[in-house]
Structure 1
Amino acid sequence: MSRHWTGDPHRHLVLAPGRNYTADAPLLWFARVTALDAGWSVTDLTWDQELLAEKPVAHVNDVVTAALDERPAGLTVVLAKSVGTMAVSAAADRGLPGIWLTPLLTNDHVRAQLPDLRGPQLHVGGTGDPVWAREHVPGHHQVLEVPGADHALHAPGDTAASLEILRTVTERVAAFLETCRHGTATA
């Protein structure tokens, strides 16, 4: 299932959420609003929880591929959170730029696909997240590492710091999309 917001049909952001971190949760909500404010079309996805439990890699890639096929654009960026980062295969197959929030860097599938990504890539993770393993991110990819942040990119016990992390991530998403829009990324 997906929701779509129409903007420039030549620029498309596909949001692949986490298992329990939907496209309406703060990081993805503000990414969507940022893209829409900049004129992008946006599609956000949801998972069939049963299929996700049975075959997560196949299900995530099938749903993302269907969204990409449904709305082809001159420039498409995949923005994925947690389990959504298993879409690294779909992004690599199509040479798409990607923003990978709390990527599952301890997952064999995700790690194996990272070298195949082409174009600009941004990985965002916190040092307090057990699936964040910065050493697996290829050296030519951009990284935003947040000291102490957990898997939700929160600073446990510090609401003000969590809000600042949200601001920082949102600003980096906006800057990444702007860079892609100006032709430094290919789709």
Structure 2
Amino acid sequence: MPDPSPFAVPTRFDGASDRVAVVIPGVGYSPARPLLHFARSVLLQHGWTVQELWWQIPDGFSQFTVDDRISWVGRQVTEAIDAEAGACRLLVGKSLGSLACDIAADRDIPAAWLTPILTNGHVAAALQRATESTLLVGGSADKLWDSRIAASLPHDVLEVPSADHGLELADDAAGSVGVLREVISRLDSFIGSLSR
């Protein structure tokens, strides 16, 4: 269970190697939710050790400035990466977690960003300068996704038609399961490419 404190609590799943992937949640999208749960499963199948961050959003977070949110996420993610003493070689983040795009860019860490907040200038600029392998996954019906920005970036992009910020299709449960399958398949290929 997540700690009630406003700071990240790591949960570790050991794979067969010293390659560590840090999984970063969204505001209300914990590592137990489908996209991140299956991302962990794929990582373990590829022999990665997985560190999941579980965080409790601080009281008053909705009143935080954008810079305060970036700083808060940055502290949590930096602490998790530093705890791995150089073994962190991949970030997998959802939504709010994408505010750590600059950390991936600055530290040359490959990343998979599920529904990154492309409407945020900080995120878009960090993705523009990221040189390591990067996967971006978003839905065309997500107000925080920008198709034009995604297409302009030098990264692997999967845009799901009509998918919302949860990468689900409105009023289409079976279709949403199909989207989950497509996203996890793409993530599997991306993670596999990092092992080569």
TM-score of the aligned structures, taking structure 1 as reference length: 0.91
| Paired amino acid for 2:171 | G
Corresponding residue for residue 185 of structure 1: none
* Contact 2:110-2:133 within 8 A present in 1 as well: yes
Corresponding residue for residue 8 of structure 1: 16
1:35 aligns with 2:48: no
Corresponding residue for residue 88 of structure 1: 101
Identity of aligned residues (%): 37
C-alpha change, 1:8 and 1:69, in structure 2 (3 Å) is farther
Tell me which of 165, 170, 187 is aligned to 1:156. 170
Corresponding residue for residue 69 of structure 1: 82
Q: CA RMSD in A?
A: 1.6
* Contact 1:81-1:102 within 8 A present in 2 as well: yes
Find the aligned partners of 2:18 and 2:147 in 1 and give their Cα distance. Answer: 33
1:178 aligns with 2:192: yes
How far the C-alpha of 1:74 sits from its partner, in A, is 5.0
Find the aligned partners of 2:114 and 2:60 in 1 and give their Cα distance. Answer: 19
* Contact 1:121-1:141 within 8 A present in 2 as well: yes
Find the aligned partners of 1:8 and 1:62 in 2 and give their Cα distance. Answer: 28
How far the C-alpha of 1:13 sits from its partner, in A, is 1.2
**4+ runs deviating over 4 angstroms:** none
Tell me which of 30, 33, 46 is aligned to 1:25. 33
Deviations 1:115-165 (A, max 9, x none): 221111111000010011022234420100000000000011111110011
* Contact 1:103-1:132 within 8 A present in 2 as well: yes
| Paired amino acid for 1:61 | G
| Paired amino acid for 1:118 | T
How far the C-alpha of 1:47 sits from its partner, in A, is 2.5
| Paired amino acid for 2:103 | A
Deviations 1:44-93 (A, max 9, x none): 11224117823211111111111111114556111110000001011111
TM-score of the aligned structures, taking structure 2 as reference length: 0.87
1:167 aligns with 2:175: no
Which residues of structure 1 form unaligned runs of 5+?
Answer: 183-187
1:46 aligns with 2:46: no
* Contact 2:124-2:149 within 8 A present in 1 as well: yes
Deviations 1:93-129 (A, max 9, x none): 1011111110101112112211221111111000010
